[in-house]
Amino acid sequence: MAGFPRIVPLTVAAALLMENLDSGVIATSLPEIARDLGEDPVTLKLALTSYLLSLAVFIPVSGWVADRFGARNIFRLAIVVFTLASIWCGFSYSLEHLVAARAMQGLGGAMMIPVGRAILLRAVPRQHIVNAMVYLTVPALIGPLIGPPVGGFITQYFDWRWIFWVNVPVGLLGLFLATAYMPDVREETRVPLDVTGFFLSGLGLSAFIFGLTGFTGRLLPPGMAPAMGMLGIALLTAYLFHARRHPHPILDLTLLGIGTYRAGVLGGVLFRIGAGALPFLLPLLLQLVFGFDPFASGSITFVAAIGAMSMKLVAQPILRYFGFRTVLLWNSFIAAAFILIYILFSAQTPVWVLIVVILLGGFFRSLQFTSLGAIAYADMPQNRISQASTLFSAIQQTAIAVGVALAAFSLETARASRGDINLVQQDFSWAFMIIAGLTALSALVYWRLPPDAGQAVSGHSGKFPKR
């Protein structure tokens, strides 16, 4: 692998470590945060969706800003914003303050994720993309690996506010590495910012996701949530017509004309709706229904990251032997099955069984994420990578936000039908069945891929080698 610039993905990984660490600790600590703030635990979905919504709104402008002011400058600024917002989260004393601070974190994350990926994809030769993703994601997976037990430990024995302040040293490390080693890449030709497209897409996504999030419960006045959802759909529809006429739309939907990119994006939407809901559902199930304390809950759920990390070591051989189409198609059913298994969990289920199922589920979900990320750029022209990364990231974060909102909606609807404010195991069963079905439904997208799809990246010839 001569000439492979390992320091670049490792530098990006340092920042993504901070972002992933934050996601891991807050998911485990949601019940305790809700208790301390005097809120319903399901209402704390806003702490997750506000962050994801901020990502989805500001990611579209990140590519233009990086090309205008330099990718390295924006990447460093993003780290600073994210770190300061983390400090603010720790000082929040109401749900409104926490949601606002999480939205500010999303602003920083919106610049870190796509800009870092664009730098990586431009600095690494095409034949090393899969290996670059491994170098990038393995260090970043340390966040989800240590996030749940660390978050649970801090919450159980200290104060949940410290789960955000642990981002500070990681942010300082990422800032140092970005300053010392990050190349300052940017497009040679700059295009004007699509201001109209930015507001149509940003406001449309905001209204749609917030309307979906507030569809049940007492978050919004009666009728406001569906009205906001319809407004969001109308604005996003208006953006579709706008993008067709604009020479440089902020979200370039013509990229979906590339078959491998379309499969990575559209198939990834359904898959991420399902997978994105799990970090929200599992800690609530383990703590509110099974009676685990935060540290025990985090110590169980973190094994999903172990499964994910172990998969990264074998991703390239698997894709080389089976190819993208076979892996994406059949692995979507496998991942869905491991989500469906959660409905069989109970307070009497042995801990080792929980651990094995969560670990294997993490392995197969990670295989799907890696494959989706790699095939999306397999046939992407070099000069369109920035726009492709922006669109991919915006749709990805929107899908995860929809997954969290849909899972919360399922829980709230199920308990409301029983006339109870407490959550029981049956409420979670409905949620797991819904998101497992959506995960399996993503296979319809991969079915239409040719056997040799993404061959330049996977190395698969389209035929299985003879024994």
Q: Secondary structure of the chain: what % helix, strand, coil (to 5)?
A: 80, 0, 20
**Is 59 in a helix, a strand, or coil?**
helix
Tens-digit pLDDT string for the chain (467 aa): 444 456 677 777 777 777 777 777 888 888 889 888 888 888 888 888 888 888 888 888 887 888 788 888 888 999 999 999 999 999 998 888 999 999 999 999 888 876 877 777 776 666 666 666 666 666 556 766 777 888 889 888 888 999 898 888 888 888 888 888 777 766 666 678 899 999 999 899 888 888 877 765 556 666 777 888 899 999 999 999 999 999 889 888 889 888 889 888 988 898 988 888 888 899 999 999 999 999 999 889 888 888 887 887 788 888 888 888 888 999 999 999 999 999 999 889 999 999 999 999 989 998 898 888 888 888 888 778 778 887 888 888 888 888 888 888 888 888 888 887 788 888 899 999 999 999 999 999 888 888 877 777 776 765 655 54
Query: What pLDDT, on a 0 to 100 scale, did the predictor assign at position 189?
Result: 64
Tell me the C-alpha to C-alpha distance, in Å, between residue 334 and each of 93, 229, 394, 443: 42, 32, 26, 11
* Cα dihedral sign, 9-12-14-16: negative
Contact of 69 with 92, CB cutoff 8 Å? no
Contact of 204 with 235, CB cutoff 8 Å? yes
Query: What pLDDT, on a 0 to 100 scale, did the predictor assign at position 129?
Result: 66
Contact of 18 with 170, CB cutoff 8 Å? yes
255: CB partners within 8 A, 6+ apart = 261, 380, 384, 387, 388, 391
Q: Which residue from 339, 321, 23 is spatially nearest to 164, judged by alpha carbons?
A: 23
286-345 residue pLDDT tens = 999 999 999 999 889 888 888 887 887 788 888 888 888 888 999 999 999 999 999 999
80-117 residue pLDDT tens = 999 999 999 999 988 889 999 999 999 998 888 768 77
Structure tokens at 460: 């698969």
Contact of 332 with 435, CB cutoff 8 Å? no
DSSP string, 132-172: HHHHHHHHHTHHHHHHHHHHHHHHHHS-TTHHHHTHHHHHH
Structure tokens at 224: 């406001």
Query: What pLDDT, on a 0 to 100 scale, did the predictor assign at position 364?
Result: 92
Structure tokens at 90: 């720790």
Structure tokens at 38: 């005097």
Q: Measure the CA angle with vertex 274, ends 321 and 35; round to 5°.
A: 135
C-alpha–C-alpha distance, residues 421 and 436, integer Å: 25
Query: What pLDDT, on a 0 to 100 scale, did the predictor assign at position 2?
Result: 44
Contact of 177 with 28, CB cutoff 8 Å? no
Query: What pLDDT, on a 0 to 100 scale, did the predictor assign at position 3?
Result: 46
Contact of 323 with 453, CB cutoff 8 Å? yes
425: CB partners within 8 A, 6+ apart = 285, 289, 345, 346
